[in-house]
Structures are given as structure tokens and as C-alpha cells.
Amino acid sequence: MATFGVRLRDAMREHGPLCVGIDPHPPLLRAWGLTEDVAGLKAFTDACVEAFAGRVALVKPQVAFFETYGSGGILVLEEAIGELREAGTLVLADAKRGDIGSTMDAYAHAWLAGGPLASDAVTVSPYLGFGSLAPALDLAKANDRGVFVLAATSNPEAAELQTITGPDGRTIAQRMVDDAAAANAGAEFGSVGVVVGATLTEAPDLGSLNGPILMPGVGAQGGGADSIRKLVPDSDLGAVVPNVSREVLKVGPSVSALQAKVAELTGEFAFLQR
């Protein structure tokens, strides 16, 4: 099997660069006329799987909204991951895991090995030190899967940590990007991506990453094609994966409406395809 980075690059060329989220938070369930329970969660998720499978490069279920419902919610997530992957659609589990030692190893096995939650990639937090991610990085490499490292997130609280400058003049966010780049060294297209908010006013230097750049904040949060162009040099635009969730999901529950919105946004971001 090809590496995750290569499979993602190929999927972006075939379907466009979008990553579409499955975020079944309570206001959306209500807006879709669904109950706030496992039955409503399943109906929401099933519609998303039907709408997105085989049509986008990457689908990103937000794990927290499934965990809310306990074992029933996790079962819905397991089924969705399996159905998407069976359809040939790459799945990024947005779990934002980060810990040390055996605990991080357990998280890595949950999402990147062969279990029921196994996805093509998972989001991870490096803020216990980039080295703490080693179990996930190693397992992803062994299984041709990927990780997306939180680097420069767009939430206001992030700046107080991520923009701190170290003795070498690099911000913490830049160090995370550089460490991810080192993990991708020698790859055709790396499987270690970074998360950089599309609503930021300034981004780290991404030129050496040689891997995917997941950019959340597109659509309802105010990010878009113009903000991406301002943050990412032309030479790196081909690695950008715009993440849209609410902007698509707000048009549901109609599957055809969801698909039409995806098609519209795919056209909007066609300039990223290289």
C-alpha cells in the first residue's frame, strides 16, 4: 500500500483538496430535525457518509461528538469509519490525542493500527513535546497511515503559547512545523501533516514541510480562498487541505444538498490543485 501522504495527494488530485468534517454537535442535530441521542447521531452520520464517500479527498469525523454518547456513539463512529474506508475515502480521526509513553502508544494503536477505530490518519497534540509523539509517528509509518500535528491553531488562546519565541528565534509553532518536516525527510510526499488555522494573520514558514497542510476555519469561521492565499506562498498551495464543516453541514439533512455544497466549494478551491 502507498503511504498516507501519497494516497492523500492522489485523492486531492482526483476529488479536489477538500477535507469535510462530520461534526454532529447538538445545534446541528436540532437544525436537521434529529433527536439528541444515538439514533439522531446515527441518522446524521449516515447522511454524511452517503454524501461524502467517494466525492472528497478526506473526511474528518470530530471524535468528541461521538464520545458524548458513550459506547453507542463510538459504535456509530466505528461504522462510519469502516464505510468510508470501504468506499475508498480517506478518514482523518479528529481526536487530538497527546500523552507520553505507554499511554501515547495506546492512543496510537487505537487509531493507527488494525482495531475497530483504525483510520487513515489522526490529529495529535505535540504540546507535551514533539518527541512525545514518537509512538504515533512510528506506528503511522509502519502501517502507511498519517498524523496531523497541531502547529498554529486559530483559537485565540493558542497565541500565548504557540507564538513564544525560543533562543534560536523560532516560535513554538515554527518548531512544530520544522519537526514535522524532519519526520517527512526523504519522502515523496510526507505523511506527517500540520494543522494551521485559515483565520490566522500570520503562518509559520511551511516551505520545508513536504507534507499536507490542514487548514481549518474555512467557511463559517471566516477563512476562505483569500485568507489561504495570504498565509501560504504559491509554491506550497498544492499541499493545502482546506477543512470545511459547518459551511457544508448547515445545508443538510438533504444528501443532494450536501453534495451540491461540496461541489461548489471544490470549485472554489480548485486553484489549490497542482
pLDDT of residue 100: 97
Output b/e per residue, 32-42; b: 16+ Cβ within 10 A. bebeeebebbb
Residue 221 pLDDT > 90: no
pLDDT of residue 1: 83
The torsion angles phi and psi of 89, rounded to 5 degrees, stand at: -100, 130
For residue 137, name the pLDDT band (cuts at 50, 70, 90). Answer: very high
Q: What is the mean pLDDT of residues 197-221?
A: 93
pLDDT of residue 177: 98
Share of the chain above pLDDT 90, in %: 95
Q: Confirm whether 96 is a catalytic residue.
A: yes
C-alpha cell at 157: 488562546
- pTM, rounded to two decimals: 0.97
State the average pLDDT for the chain.
96
The H or E element containing residue 243 is strand 240-244
Distance CA 199, CA 228 (A): 8
Query: Domains (ranges, CATH) in the chain?
Result: 4-272 (3.20.20.70)
Report the candidate in 71, 163, 70, 162 with the shortest Cα–Cα distance to residue 125.
162
Q: What is the mean pLDDT of residues 15-26?
A: 97
Query: Alpha helix (H) ranges present in the chain?
Result: 4-15, 26-31, 38-52, 63-67, 70-86, 101-112, 134-142, 159-162, 172-183, 225-231, 246-249, 255-268
Cis amide bond preceding 253, omega within 30? yes
Report the candidate in 109, 96, 50 with the shortest Cα–Cα distance to residue 214.
96
Q: What is the mean pLDDT of residues 148-156?
A: 94
Residue 219 pLDDT > 90: no
Residue 82 pLDDT > 80: yes
Grid cell 504559491 — which residue?
A: 234
Q: What is the mean pLDDT of residues 182-211?
A: 97
Distance CA 50, CA 24 (A): 15
For residue 190, name the pLDDT band (cuts at 50, 70, 90). Answer: very high
Among the listed residues 42, 60, 96, 141, the single catalytic one is 96
Residue 220 pLDDT > 80: no
Q: What is the pLDDT of residues 228-274, one digit of tens each?
A: 999 999 999 999 999 999 999 999 999 999 999 999 999 999 999 87
